[in-house]
Amino acid sequence: LEANFSVIQKEDGSYNGIITVIHDVTEQEKIEQERREFVANVSHELRTPLTSMKSYLEALEDGALHDPTIAPKFLNVAQTETERMIRLVNDLLQLSKMDSKDYRLYLDTIDMTKLLNSVIDRYELVSDNDKIYFHRDIPSHTTFATVDRDKVIQVLDNILSNAIKYSPEGGEISISLKENEKDFSISVNDEGVGIPAENLPQVFDRFYRVDKARSRKLGGTGLGLAIAKQIVSAHGGSIWVSSEWNIGTRITLTLPYSAEKGGE
Ligand code: ADP
């Protein structure tokens, strides 16, 4: 704690009182520390792909450009790294928008059953080659919900793309939609690598990854679940994870049938 004293003096010079202002320095320091860590993380995340691109471009300049087998591979790496940086910058922009005071939800009443099915359809199409099986436990009737459609799609995208990323070939991903009394819940269950129990509390933190190298190789930014959590809480819902190392992971979220405008 830090205290500042100001003495209040009357016009004739006599003292009237003292004002004491006490700051909670620990809280301020914590925020400052988090900010520093965040900037360091961002710089590091951008430097890694940039350094790698630089060395591939140098190799191309030093002659690899004229090697018909190597050149396309090196250009491909440069392209993949650029795409990852774009994803990272987009994720960062998202988070910064969410952190700002005028963060708004654009609410629409939609059919959640239809929305969830359409997102899964999209993944089912593209992951045909990866031999991932999708199992749906979704009601056949309409489930009305008032939510920010695009943001809910983003949450589902982040969770489903993780389930696919961390699944083995032939793995099954089960998605369920359950209607509860006051809210509805969606859960995504995979048979992937899982998350060790001691790492579970951190997976929603910005930039946190259980296995940094693996996440990078799979194109991750370490921000997907942090963004998902922020969107879900802006809707007044909650999200949590349960997992067993080498068995699989389940992400569950609940959302109220009708979110309030204006977010948190
Ligand atoms: P990333 O872009 O690295 O996937 P996320 O914020 O989406 O970042 O997830 C954070 C970390 O949580 C991941 O790096 C991974 O270690 C772990 N994780 C998330 N989803 C899964 C999953 N379905 N199976 C195993 N690990 C997961």
- The CA distance from 189 to 135, in Å, is 10
Tell how strand 172-179 and strand 238-244 pair up: unpaired
Q: Which of 197, 174, 188, 175 is nearest to 244 (CA)?
A: 197
CB under 8 A, 24+ apart: contacts of 84-87: 84/49, 84/216, 84/219, 84/221, 85/46, 85/49, 85/50, 87/219, 87/221
Tokens, residue 128: 């045909």
- The CA distance from 87 to 220, in Å, is 9
Q: Is 223 in the pocket of ligand 1 (CB under 6 A)?
A: yes
Q: Is 190 in the pocket of ligand 1 (CB under 6 A)?
A: yes
Taking the centre of ligand 1 as the mean of its atom positions, its distance from the CA of residue 75, in whole angstroms, is 28
Look up the ipTM and state it. Answer: 0.98
Taking the centre of ligand 1 as the mean of its atom positions, its distance from the CA of residue 186, in whole angstroms, is 18
Q: Is 171 in the pocket of ligand 1 (CB under 6 A)?
A: no
Q: Is 215 in the pocket of ligand 1 (CB under 6 A)?
A: yes
Assign 190 to helix, strand or coil. Answer: strand
- Residues in a beta bridge with 184: 179, 255
Q: Across 52-158, where does the E strand assignment appear?
A: 107-111, 133-137, 144-148
pTM for the model stands at 0.83
Q: Are 184 and 178 in contact (CB under 8 A)?
A: yes
Q: What percent of the chain has pLDDT over 90?
A: 67
Taking the centre of ligand 1 as the mean of its atom positions, its distance from the CA of residue 192, in whole angstroms, is 11
Span 93-144, pLDDT tens digits: 988 888 888 788 999 999 999 999 999 999 998 876 678 999 999 999 999 9
Confidence of residue 264 (pLDDT cuts 50, 70, 90): very low
Taking the centre of ligand 1 as the mean of its atom positions, its distance from the CA of residue 40, in whole angstroms, is 20
If 0-12 CB within 10 Å is exposed, 13-18 middle and 19+ buried, where does residue 140 land?
Answer: exposed
Q: Is 166 in the pocket of ligand 1 (CB under 6 A)?
A: yes
- The CA distance from 148 to 258, in Å, is 10
Q: Of ligand 1's atoms, which has the minimum distance to the CA of residue 211?
A: 16
Taking the centre of ligand 1 as the mean of its atom positions, its distance from the CA of residue 222, in whole angstroms, is 7
Residue owning the nearest CA to atom 3 of ligand 1: 222
Mean pLDDT of the chain: 90
CA quadruple 71, 74, 78, 79: dihedral sign? positive
Question: Average pLDDT for residues 207-218, to the nearest whole number?
Answer: 84
